Amino acid sequence: MANIKEFVFNHFEENTYIVWDDSKQCIIIDPGMNSAAENSKLAEFVSDNGLTVGKVLLTHAHIDHIAGLRFVCETYNLPITAHADSMSFLKQAESYGSMMGFGTQNMDDLAFEAIDDNAVIAVGTTEIKALYVPGHAAGSMAYVLKDPNVVFTGDALFRQSIGRTDLPTGDYDMLMKMLNTKILTLDDDCEVLPGHGPNTTIGDEKNMNPFLI
């Protein structure tokens, strides 16, 4: 069974996750740290728990989800693991960041490992399945674990809400299609760990999310 640690970082209150198992191998999902203090908080957790960071995954590459990406990649000597369509955001991280209060550099110089729909990512003895779910942003992915039964949805699905689609590369019809065909087909008791805000379940969102009922 995998373990999950959630952090809330930066002024957008973005959820960053660390997933690990008994092998002590871990992945970091959406490193949103935007200060030296936040970098230290994440690094200290990794060190204090004797973890080895094997991958850094992106649900998508909006600036609030990648502000700490360079720190993670350079500290742990890792490539970015994400959908290829995320690259356009990495190339514009500095300009997007300056508009939104993030002091970041462009990140297209970092090593990049592209993944696509249904890719399986190993974390020690744990496997995570990637689902391609564009609509909120180009290159958006969700990541599904079976033990525990959870899905990391990024900004595609929130508790009683969905991701905005009015930003560049957003597409409301596409997002609704991806939610209905890929996310809401998961088990009702599957726990949803979103990119912002509190956790929920697939069943609760089917029954209570005003965008989906």
Distance CA 11, CA 14 (A): 8
- Is residue 163 included in any domain, yes or no? no
Q: Please tell me the predicted confidence (pLDDT) of residue 191.
A: 98
Q: Which residue has the tokens 């550099």?
A: 105
- Is residue 185 included in any domain, yes or no? no
Q: Please tell me the predicted confidence (pLDDT) of residue 213.
A: 85
Q: Please tell me the predicted confidence (pLDDT) of residue 81.
A: 98
- Is residue 146 included in any domain, yes or no? yes
- Is residue 201 included in any domain, yes or no? no
**SS3 state of residue 30:** coil
Cα 31 from chain centre:
8
Q: Please tell me the predicted confidence (pLDDT) of residue 123.
A: 87
User: In total, how many domains does the chain have?
Assistant: 1
Distance CA 98, CA 144 (A): 33
**SS3 state of residue 190:** coil
* Residue-range definition of the domain harbouring residue 39: 3-134+141-154
User: pTM (2 decimals)?
Assistant: 0.98
- Is residue 187 included in any domain, yes or no? no
What the block records as the tokens of 140 is 């958006």
What b-and-e string marks burial along 167-206, b requiring 16 or more CB atoms within 10 Å of the CB? eebbeeebbeebbeebbbebeeebbbbbbbeeebbbebbe
**Positions of the chain with pLDDT under 70:** none
Q: Please tell me the predicted confidence (pLDDT) of residue 82.
A: 98
pLDDT, tens digit, 9 for 90 and up, residues 64-75:
999 999 999 999
Read off the CATH number of the domain in which 77 is found.
Answer: 3.60.15.10
- Is residue 180 included in any domain, yes or no? no
pLDDT, tens digit, 9 for 90 and up, residues 98-133:
999 999 999 999 999 999 999 999 989 999 999 999
- Is residue 105 included in any domain, yes or no? yes
- Is residue 85 included in any domain, yes or no? yes
